[in-house]
Amino acid sequence: MIIVTGGAGFIGSNIVKGLNERGHDDILVVDNLTNMVKFKNIQGLKVKDYMDKYAFSEALAAGKFAHEKIDVIFHEGACSDTMEYNGKYMMENNFEYTKNVLHFCLDRKIQLMYASSASTYGGGLHGFREEPACEEALNVYAFSKLFFDNYLRRLLPQAQSQVVGLRYFNVYGPQENHKGKMASMIYQMYNQWKAEGKVRLFGEYDGYGPGEHTRDFIYVKDVVKVNFYFWEHPEISGIFNCGTGHAHQFNTLAKGVLKHFGSGELEYVPFPEVLKGKYQSFTQADTTNLLAAGYDGGFTPIEEAIAEYCALLDKTGGYYVYER
């Protein structure tokens, strides 16, 4: 059996889709469907079972999976709202929950891939390498991710099974609809154009001109490829960046969306006060360790990915549709 936590979420449902495409359907999806819109992400996918996140946590603690053969856990379940200020809630979701999954996997020698985050690099003043000298949390979301990464670092030398943390950079693509204000800027701008015939970006801030804030954007299909690469190489453990190694301005995204529609206006709005001091103006993954680990699957060019994603948004609203 394969377990995907956060399996009804953005990255998790794309992993489940990828597993189905490889012929796997012995999958337990774990999630919290309080945000009921997420059901659309797993509608049509082939899975063995579904379990609520809290029931899953209780089952782990009670030893209810003691006799199940589990090949791998893709742990994508977390609170991904970078504007969430409830530290207790964030640590319960992103640290304690992940810690429990980790120890279950270590005790049972089960492969584990888990979602870390590029937010652990803070403002990126010291680079984007997977090492403490580069790391700094600007908000409690980043702190929760970094705190777990450091917890894992202390245990890795004694680990007898694979554990891989992937520091996702700016992921975009199908099935992110439920994320609301946390969805990618491509999704946001697509819907802005549909509503108003124009798209909006932040104006100048932190030494960057209007729309010139720059991020490492990675297509969700490539994120799945990276996860599967490590799954296929159980001898590799560690924390790795999951980004393309190439940064693009938000202006590039806006132009791609406007090109898709063939018309429209790009408008710049004042940078929000609430984000000042908590915003990453520039990110770019250092992919040295990822490539040294042998990943050679490449990354989808951003112009190609934007065109493909916008076409799916036109056709289905951004959801995959499966043949019955």
Instruction: Say what the pLDDT of residue 53 is.
Output: 94
Distance separating alpha carbons of residues 200 and 166, to the nearest angstrom: 30
Domains located in the chain, CATH noted: 2-173+216-245+284-299 (3.40.50.720)
Instruction: At 73, list the tokens.
Output: 């856990």
CA nearest to 4, candidates 141, 128, 143, 101? 101
Distance separating alpha carbons of residues 70 and 27, to the nearest angstrom: 10
Instruction: Say what the pLDDT of residue 218 is.
Output: 98
pTM for this structure? 0.96
CA angle 177, 81, 306 (to 5 degrees): 40
Chain length of the chain: 324
Distance separating alpha carbons of residues 168 and 180, to the nearest angstrom: 19
Distance separating alpha carbons of residues 306 and 242, to the nearest angstrom: 19
Instruction: Say what the pLDDT of residue 78 is.
Output: 78
Cα-based torsion angle of the residue sequence 118, 270, 87, 143 in order, rounded to the nearest 10 degrees? 20
> Which of the following is catalytic: 97, 141, 190, 219?
141
Pairing outcome for strands 49-52 and 72-75: unpaired
Whether residue 2 contacts residue 68, with contact meaning beta carbons closer than 8 Å, is answered with: no
Distance separating alpha carbons of residues 23 and 35, to the nearest angstrom: 29
Instruction: Say what the pLDDT of residue 82 is.
Output: 59
In DSSP terms, which residues pair with 232 in a beta bridge?
A: none
| Catalytic (active site) residue 322 | no
CA nearest to 28, candidates 63, 61, 65, 1? 1
Instruction: Say what the pLDDT of residue 159 is.
Output: 97
Residue recorded with tokens 């296929």: 232
**Alpha helix stretches (DSSP H) within 166-210:** 185-196
Instruction: Say what the pLDDT of residue 161 is.
Output: 98
CA nearest to 166, candidates 66, 239, 234, 58? 239
Predicted confidence pLDDT, tens digits, the chain (324 residues): 999 999 999 999 999 999 999 999 999 999 999 888 999 999 999 999 999 999 999 999 998 998 899 999 999 987 766 566 678 888 888 999 999 999 999 999 999 999 999 999 998 999 999 999 999 998 899 999 999 999 999 999 999 999 999 999 999 999 999 999 899 999 999 999 999 999 999 999 999 999 999 999 999 999 999 999 999 999 999 999 999 999 999 999 999 999 999 999 999 999 999 888 888 899 999 999 999 999 999 999 999 999 999 999 999 999 998 876
The DSSP letter of residue 208 is: B
Question: Which conformational region is residue 73 in: left (phi greater than 0), alpha (psi within -120 to 50 degrees), or beta?
Answer: beta
| Catalytic (active site) residue 141 | yes
> Which of the following is catalytic: 53, 145, 179, 219?
179
Instruction: At 53, list the tokens.
Output: 């996140």
